[in-house]
Structure 1
């Protein structure tokens, strides 16, 4: 009897333990973070995050690297590698071939002009004194974002997105975002603005933030390096010929006296554009972002919220001075303090066990072409206008001297389809003929006709990237990729030594390889050399948020990161 009693007690204990473990496991499974934070740093190539590691503190970038899960082989899987396409791909989990954001602007056959990726004539710009300025929205985004799926799953969850750039705020939030805010220098004294797509007027807290005149105060300062300039040995000398001088300065060198520069830019009605080239722009965005979390009451209840923040100053610094510049090094050192400030806020207000974050970039960038030339590296400048003339003359040999090319810039060449139809010619045949001719010209690495991109799947890496960036209703008749280190321009004459600052958009590693680090609740410490892509971010967020993703998703959840 006693033995049977012991057996019954043991069985009861086992059942109790199993039930307790099951309940604990289920509790852990359902225990979502209070807030998920996506951090994107514009034009932060993989090298930039690690190049200045010794000058970072221990609580910003280094904390993410040392305590988070770091994917060291994270590359974009499409072209062009640009801001709008990058942000859309990160938050939708797919490529431009599905989400439709093929570039920052693209040529429209309907309006015979360039089309901006977020400009929307159906909405008004809010947060400025005028009420007649066209606003912006995610109208051109063709699939749902992770934020949209979160809202569909639970309408009480909130999605808020902020940036200095409109596209970097609007596209991450998607079509169901509660709010998107961005910086305006065109129509206001540096206000944070939004559009009537989200609400009829900006919240009172945004009005108050703008009334404080923070942009103006920030531009009343002088920008000098954090550390003695002679210690910036990771960068090229401060005075070099690969960088643009701004505001009438004779050289692109420190210090930057913004009160003096304001006077020059004011004459061009661009005074507040200066904040985009100042580290103070990133600081103001952090302040605004933290206030947005507070005022929008993100992470304050049982429903998980999504907050997206995108830092843009690095991109403008790169285009102006280049990734090799002391200016870029100093901005990264200062941005490290902004990341620390944001993480400290999240720690203090939610606790590290109640938030999950990731940090990445929308694209990298190559060194200035003038620097490559000085180093004896392969480089070059292609004039699309000159090549357009050459294509027209080539086609004239067979079809007559007519304006066969309608538009050619960056990776898209558009043929004049009305003319081809009027002449009773085969469009696909002309596309192939133009692609084949382009491949005979200097500086062209790939040229693929649109007809080929609509068929099957390419196996070659670059060809597949071209196909992933092709959206039939918006892309050209021929997709073009230039040689490594070669850039294109619409100018007919441009000497290589005149090309200052960085460019991006190519399928080469300097443009595609960017950081990806996960951090916070449910994320283990670790490093992976696995090849992953930005399209894997949204599916991973879907696992964290426990929501489904749309059928268009190309990526996969990064299961390695989970504890």
Structure 2
């Protein structure tokens, strides 16, 4: 071979070998990535009812390592996570977490609302076409039929040809029904009163499964009929206010809202098993039942991903009764921290460390008791709707000759009677604006918007953006108003929620487990981002009404 040809041959051979090595490395790397991707055996969604974000920081020095701190240290913390709609309440909250969208799309515009077609108030989960299962009461007549889109759990069921299992659990029916979606294998909630049992609806099944019957028959619920005293020395509860204040409500039969709360003595006067919901023992009972479900339903036992939804409702009941600054709320979160650790340990044991993915968030946050804020020179107060209604009726009578032009009121929305408006030969938009301007004059009202504005404008930030995301064209009212910051329509004791204000929208969002990075972000995330993030991790279709987007920094790809 000629020298020149030999040199050319060697050069070509060199580049060929480099290409071969490079290609082999790329192919090997690609194959390795594909081999390493596998879905978790179980996804666990946890909603803590009425949890403010700052509970994570406020109580952090008292949390143990295995509960909240496990998620904070080994998971991903979205520190600037918000609800992007109002009303911020339980039904819409659970629906939004799991559908990846807001009431404007999924249709759950409140816990209850005025139904314009039926001309009556309806409850978000009620469904008289189904029967109660596990109780003789009507408490089981529920279904998700008013939720108009799929959930992340529905999409997982569809993706796995219905082989993946979905189980949803909460003390509150709506805290189980909405997360379970339309295709859940089971959704269970707690019926107290004189029964104290976990129940369901014939929408899901016609009889309770053996493991639920066994759990109810064990009467482990009765172990929580005991005194509620603080988990730790009450003198160390420096993260909350005084134990005896005028800002707290009372159990029936108590003279002061102070520890210890003698549950056995208070039992009958507070509707028996119902009182457990208003104590941290309701969360413990929920954790017990969720752990029993892992074995009872064989969750996470094979390679087909299952879904377990758990909602801890007692935090909401305690917050409503005692307020967000009470020693009761601090004790409830310290005990919830222990219950979470029990659930996490059970997941490690029964599903396997590194084999499940989990997220924890809330369905809304809550405001400090206005009386407490006022006593600390912070603007706050209460809206007396009797007085507001009287003023409004005077205006309606003067302007239109009738008060019947307002047909109903719910969730800070007025529903007008369009037939009367037409008979008066008036335009709906003009009437909406006229009434809106009147309501804006009231001291406790901060902002007012009309349905006409919700239809014609596209808001991208601030309060109107939040209201528009909660505005459903078919179900919502004609006039929407927002109370002034710090002002609530509620009793003088305990905390509440529901507004578009930041104290009701800022909630935790923690991810943990398989496919999740360790870290945190202060970039704004929204509650509707949770479902598409989990869908992306699982490699499945988004819920069909999704308006949120995946939180990219969370995913370990």
TM superposition shift of 1:16 = 4.0
CA distance in 1, matches of 2:499, 2:408: 20
CA distance in 1, matches of 2:112, 2:544: 26
CA contact (8 A) 1:145 1:172 kept: yes
CA contact (8 A) 2:537 2:555 kept: no
- 2:86 is aligned with 1:85: no
TM superposition shift of 1:549 = 1.3
TM superposition shift of 1:34 = 0.7
CA contact (8 A) 2:74 2:512 kept: yes
Q: Which residue does 1:74 correspond to in 2?
A: 81
CA contact (8 A) 1:410 1:488 kept: no
Task: Choose from 28, 41, 44 the match for 1:20.
Answer: 28
Q: How does 1:32-111 map to 2 (within 5 A)?
A: 32-111=39-118
Task: Provide the secondary structure at the position in 1 that maps to 2:354.
Answer: helix
Q: Which residue does 2:363 correspond to in 1?
A: 362
CA distance in 1, matches of 2:139, 2:95: 25
- 2:209 is aligned with 1:216: no
Distance 1:416 1:389, change over 3 A: farther
CA distance in 1, matches of 2:28, 2:460: 50
TM superposition shift of 1:118 = 0.0
- 2:145 is aligned with 1:144: no
CA RMSD of aligned residues (A): 1.9
Distance 1:411 1:327, change over 3 A: same
- 2:492 is aligned with 1:499: yes
Q: Which residue does 1:523 correspond to in 2?
A: 516
- 2:322 is aligned with 1:321: yes
CA contact (8 A) 2:87 2:110 kept: yes
Task: Provide the secondary structure at the position in 2 that maps to 1:275.
Answer: helix
- 2:232 is aligned with 1:231: no
- 2:249 is aligned with 1:260: no
TM superposition shift of 1:111 = 4.1
CA contact (8 A) 2:167 2:180 kept: yes
- 2:190 is aligned with 1:189: no
Q: How does 1:173-184 map to 2 (within 5 A)?
A: 173-184=180-191
CA contact (8 A) 2:110 2:411 kept: no
Task: Provide the secondary structure at the position in 1 that maps to 2:360.
Answer: strand
Task: Provide the secondary structure at the position in 2 that maps to 1:468.
Answer: helix
TM superposition shift of 1:407 = 2.2
Q: Which residue does 2:400 correspond to in 1?
A: 399
Distance 1:202 1:71, change over 3 A: same
Distance 1:556 1:402, change over 3 A: closer
TM superposition shift of 1:140 = 0.4
Task: Choose from 542, 553, 560 the match for 2:546.
Answer: 553
Distance 1:386 1:10, change over 3 A: same
Q: How does 1:231-380 map to 2 (within 5 A)?
A: 231-265=236-270, 270-380=271-381
Q: Which residue does 2:209 correspond to in 1?
A: 203
CA distance in 1, matches of 2:540, 2:300: 17
- Could you tell which deviates more after superposition, 270-279 or 424-433? 424-433
Aligned length: 547
Distance 1:260 1:133, change over 3 A: closer
Q: Which residue does 2:471 correspond to in 1?
A: 470
CA distance in 2, matches of 1:462, 1:131: 41
Distance 1:402 1:557, change over 3 A: closer
Q: Deviations over 1:488-536 (max 9, x none)?
A: 25xxxxxxxx610001011222111111111111211111010110100
Q: Which residue does 2:430 correspond to in 1?
A: 429
TM normalised by structure 1 equals 0.93
TM superposition shift of 1:350 = 2.6
Q: Deviations over 1:461-499 (max 9, x none)?
A: 10011111111222111111110011125xxxxxxxx61
Unaligned runs of 5+ in 2: 1-5
Q: How does 1:150-165 map to 2 (within 5 A)?
A: 150-154=156-160, 155-165=162-172
CA contact (8 A) 1:392 1:405 kept: no
CA contact (8 A) 1:391 1:405 kept: no
Task: Provide the secondary structure at the position in 1 that maps to 2:547.
Answer: coil
- Could you tell which deviates more after superposition, 111-120 or 76-85? 111-120
Task: Provide the secondary structure at the position in 2 that maps to 1:293.
Answer: helix
TM superposition shift of 1:342 = 1.0
TM normalised by structure 2 equals 0.94
Unaligned runs of 5+ in 1: 490-497
TM superposition shift of 1:132 = 6.6
Q: Deviations over 1:39-70 (max 9, x none)?
A: 11001100112211111111111111111111
CA contact (8 A) 2:147 2:178 kept: yes
Q: Which residue does 2:3 correspond to in 1?
A: none
Task: Choose from 111, 115, 126 the match for 2:122.
Answer: 115
